[in-house]
Amino acid sequence: MSEHADHFADITIARFVERLASPEPIPGGGSASAIAASLSAALLTMVARLSTGRPKYADYAATHGRAEAAGAAARGRFLDLADQDATAYATFAAAMKLPRETSEELEARAGALRRAAREAAIVPMEILRGCRSLAEEIEAMAGRSNINAASDITVAALLVDAAAHGAASNVLVNLPSVKDEGFESSMTADLMLHLKAIEDLAAHAREVVASGRLRDPEAT
Query: pLDDT above 70 covers what percent of the chain?
Result: 98
Q: What is the pLDDT of residue 2?
A: 42
Model pTM score = 0.94
What is the average per-residue pLDDT within 57-63? 97
Is 83 within 8 Å of 7 (Cβ atoms)? yes
Q: What is the pLDDT of residue 220?
A: 74
Ordered by where they begin, the domains of the chain are 12-211 (1.20.120.680)
What is the average per-residue pLDDT within 116-135? 98
For all residues of the chain together, what is the average pLDDT? Answer: 95
Query: pLDDT above 90 covers what percent of the chain?
Result: 95
Is 1 within 8 Å of 83 (Cβ atoms)? yes
What is the average per-residue pLDDT within 37-48? 98
User: Looking at the predicted structure, is the pLDDT value of residue 4 above 70?
Assistant: no
**Residue 196: CB atoms within 10 Å:** 11
CA max distance for the chain: 73
Q: What is the pLDDT of residue 47?
A: 98
Looking at this protein, which amino acid is placed at residue 36? A
What is the average per-residue pLDDT within 187-207? 98
User: Looking at the predicted structure, is the pLDDT value of residue 6 above 90?
Assistant: no
Q: DSSP letters of 88-125?
A: HHHHHHHHHTS--SSHHHHHHHHHHHHHHHHHHHHHHH
As separate numbers, helices (DSSP H) first and strands (DSSP E) second, the chain gives 6, 0
At residue 3 the predicted structure's pLDDT band, cuts being 50, 70 and 90, is: very low
At residue 142 the predicted structure's pLDDT band, cuts being 50, 70 and 90, is: very high
Q: What is the pLDDT of residue 161?
A: 98
Contacts of 199 (CB under 8 A, 6+ apart): 161, 164
| Cα dist from 55 to 8, 39, 45, 61, whole Å | 38, 28, 19, 10
Q: What angle do CA 49, 51, 53 make, to 5 degrees?
A: 90
Q: What is the pLDDT of residue 1?
A: 44
Q: Is 18 helix (H, G, I), strand (E, B) or coil?
A: helix
